[in-house]
């Protein structure tokens, strides 16, 4: 087993036994980044010197008998919308290309306290508005399992870095599937926590009533370990929950809970339009849970199609409000040829914002106008309430819902813009549901298609049921072989390095 194959728990054990140093581990991942980045493009900024310095600090702590926590000395990546003091935070936008915050996001502070080593900032769709990481202002990120395909988005760089062996784990953010979808496309575990469980402070807002940060990892137990570190109540985040119950032994402890006889719901409407590989994966997983003592119940989810439309209406409206702060005056890009204040506003935004952001901002402006607010935004808000009520009813009948993450495996690069608007966004119909209701969703790998592409499934549960979701996913993970590493890593080990087109 190589260093890049080891889990957080395995690396933590080796560090405490003195079998490995953080400097050695971090150097290995930095070497992988140097060799693989031309093929993957997972990072916007690589912080080599900072990473090695943090690794040396972790090694010194171990030598002195200090133990900051399970994540100490282990290298990771942060999505580039998470503020990092002294490290460029671009949001994959020319608008913030040179922005270096003087503060950390709260989750960044939590990771520092746990001794994490920061390898760099991961690529993303600009301002998190996208689902393929093709909407970055810097470069496209490639899926490590097939470089001709997308890694998902908007946290595609975070997922690609972990899948390619360029980070042990990563943080992403999720507004409507931006953790779960790339995790599924890259054969990883991704947790979108309950809204309010993880602080949003210091994370660039896309849609503030939806946004949540969460971990992307290779295993369920690793994922739980990272959530233990970042699910710390922030008194300065007004939406942080004061009443989030923490499982005995933390989330890592929850992975070891007895399986018992849970009730798992299956929504019949979710089968519509699925790729045969995804449908087969869902059926097999349901059979597995039944065979281990779970009771599977068939359910119906009303308003499924309306929920997708409501999500895009609400997030575009909130995104419009969020992007308004970038005006070329206070900070960020300013058009050089602007002569008036109005010119600064218009030219700076025209020059520095990408097409996807402009489209969503224009839609949001339209929705919030006096003429259209009642017809669109108000109706979307009502549908959101209906989605919440539907979940409340479903969770009276089951403990968790097993669902697809997407309708199929990762699509080819460049195909998204050739689809109709309905086709572009319809693949998100399973991942927007939990965010609309503020619920947790855990994506985990099922297996590979015949073409070698990962397929992921997701478990959704009531508010603050992360521990139960981890327990259910661990049961599946322990009974199945871990997915093979991507072809890129095998080529790296054989000395074959190449650049993607």
**What residues does each domain of the chain span?**
3-261+405-493
- On whether the CB atoms of residues 111 and 230 are closer than 8 A, the answer is yes
Mean pLDDT (the chain) is 95
pLDDT at residue 496 above 60?
no
Per the model's pLDDT, the better-predicted residue between 246 and 121 turns out to be: 121
pLDDT at residue 50 above 70?
yes
Question: Which whole number is the average pLDDT over 372-400?
Answer: 98
Q: Is 227 helix (H, G, I), strand (E, B) or coil?
A: helix
- On whether the CB atoms of residues 328 and 371 are closer than 8 A, the answer is no
Question: Which whole number is the average pLDDT over 306-319?
Answer: 98
Residue 278: count of CB within 10 angstroms of its CB: 25
Q: What is the pLDDT of residue 62?
A: 96
Q: How far apart are alpha carbons 135 and 126 in whole angstroms?
A: 6
Question: Which whole number is the average pLDDT over 378-402?
Answer: 98
- On whether the CB atoms of residues 111 and 76 are closer than 8 A, the answer is yes
Question: Which whole number is the average pLDDT over 137-150?
Answer: 98
Catalytic site residue 154? yes
Q: What is the pLDDT of residue 330?
A: 85
**Which ranges constitute the DSSP H helices of 242-303?**
250-254, 276-291
Q: What is the pLDDT of residue 239?
A: 87
pLDDT at residue 224 above 80?
yes
Catalytic: which of 93, 178, 277, 316?
A: 178
Q: What is the pLDDT of residue 489?
A: 72
Structure tokens, 278: 């995804």
Catalytic: which of 154, 277, 348, 465?
A: 154
Measured between its terminal Cα atoms, the distance across the chain in Å is 31
Q: What is the pTM of this model?
A: 0.96
Question: Taking the alpha carbons of 347, 349, 354, 359 in that order, is the dihedral positive or negative?
Answer: negative
Question: Which whole number is the average pLDDT over 422-435?
Answer: 86
CATH 3.90.1300.10 for the 3-261+405-493 domain, yes or no: yes
Q: Which of 405, 442, 486, 501 is nearest to 162 (CA)?
A: 486
Distance (Å) of CA 445 to CA 117, 143, 162, 193, 220 = 26, 15, 14, 18, 10
Catalytic site residue 241? no
- On whether the CB atoms of residues 473 and 430 are closer than 8 A, the answer is no
Question: Which whole number is the average pLDDT over 447-470?
Answer: 98
Q: What is the pLDDT of residue 384?
A: 99
Q: Tokens 């871990």 correspond to what residue? A: 482
Q: pLDDT category, 501, cuts 50, 70, 90?
A: very low
3-state helix, strand, coil in the chain (%, to 5): 45, 15, 45
Structure tokens, 487: 């072809």
pLDDT at residue 491 above 80?
no
Catalytic: which of 21, 22, 39, 79?
A: 79
pLDDT at residue 492 above 70?
no
pLDDT at residue 338 above 80?
yes
Q: pLDDT category, 244, cuts 50, 70, 90?
A: confident
**Which ranges constitute the DSSP H helices of 369-465?**
379-394, 421-426, 433-437
Lowest-confidence segment of 146-160, 248-262, 482-496 by average pLDDT: 482-496
Q: What is the pLDDT of residue 412?
A: 97
Question: Which whole number is the average pLDDT over 283-296?
Answer: 98
Q: What is the pLDDT of residue 494?
A: 64
Q: What is the pLDDT of residue 347?
A: 97
């Amino acid at each position: 087993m190589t260093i890049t194959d080891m889990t957080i728990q395995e690396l933590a054990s080796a560090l405490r036994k003195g079998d490995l140093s953080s400097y050695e581990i971090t150097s290995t991942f930095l070497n992988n980044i140097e060799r693989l980045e031309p093929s993957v493009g997972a990072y916007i900024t690589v912080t080599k010197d900072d990473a090695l310095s943090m690794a040396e600090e972790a090694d010194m702590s171990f030598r002195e008998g200090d133990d900051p926590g399970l994540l100490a000395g282990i290298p990771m990546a942060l999505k580039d919308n998470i503020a990092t003091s002294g490290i460029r935070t671009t949001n994959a936008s020319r608008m913030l290309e040179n922005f270096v915050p003087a503060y950390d996001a709260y989750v960044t502070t939590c990771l520092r306290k746990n001794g994490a080593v920061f390898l760099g900032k991961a690529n993303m769709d600009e301002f998190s508005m996208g689902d393929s990481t093709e909407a970055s202002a810097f470069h496209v990120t490639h899926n490590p399992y097939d470089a001709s395909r997308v890694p998902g988005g908007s946290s595609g760089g975070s997922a690609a870095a972990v899948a390619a062996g360029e980070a042990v784990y990563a943080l992403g953010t999720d507004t409507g599937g931006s953790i779960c979808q790339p995790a599924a496309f890259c054969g990883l575990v991704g947790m979108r926590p309950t809204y309010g469980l993880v602080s949003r402070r210091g994370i660039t807002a896309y849609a503030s009533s939806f946004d949540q940060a969460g971990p992307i990892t290779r295993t369920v137990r690793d994922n739980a370990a990272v959530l233990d570190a970042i699910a710390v109540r922030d008194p300065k985040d007004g939406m942080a929950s004061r009443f989030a119950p923490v499982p005995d032994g933390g989330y890592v402890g929850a992975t070891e809970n007895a399986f018992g006889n849970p009730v798992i719901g299956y929504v019949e409407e979710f089968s519509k339009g699925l790729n045969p590989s995804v449908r087969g994966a869902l059926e097999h997983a349901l059979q597995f849970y039944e065979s281990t003592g779970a009771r599977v119940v068939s359910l119906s989810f009303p308003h499924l199609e309306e929920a997708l439309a409501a999500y895009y209406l609400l997030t575009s409206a909130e995104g419009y409000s969020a992007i308004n702060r970038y005006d070329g005056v206070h900070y960020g890009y300013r058009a050089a040829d602007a002569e008036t204040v109005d010119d600064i506003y218009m030219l700076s935004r025209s020059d520095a914002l990408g097409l996807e952001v402009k489209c969503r901002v224009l839609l949001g402006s339209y929705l919030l106008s006096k003429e259209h607010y009642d017809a669109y935004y108000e109706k979307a808000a009502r549908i959101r309430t209906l989605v919440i009520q539907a979940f409340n009813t479903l969770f009276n009948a089951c403990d968790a819902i097993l669902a697809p993450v997407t309708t199929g495996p990762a699509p080819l690069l460049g195909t998204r813009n050739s689809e109709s608007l309905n086709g572009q966004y319809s693949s998100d119909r399973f991942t927007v549901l939990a965010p609309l209701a503020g619920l947790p969703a855990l994506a985990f790998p099922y297996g590979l298609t015949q073409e070698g592409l990962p397929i992921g499934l997701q478990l959704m549960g009531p508010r603050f049921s992360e521990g139960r979701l981890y327990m259910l996913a661990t049961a599946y993970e322990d009974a199945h072989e871990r997915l093979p590493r991507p072809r890129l890593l095998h080529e790296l080990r054989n000395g074959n390095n190449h650049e993607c087109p």
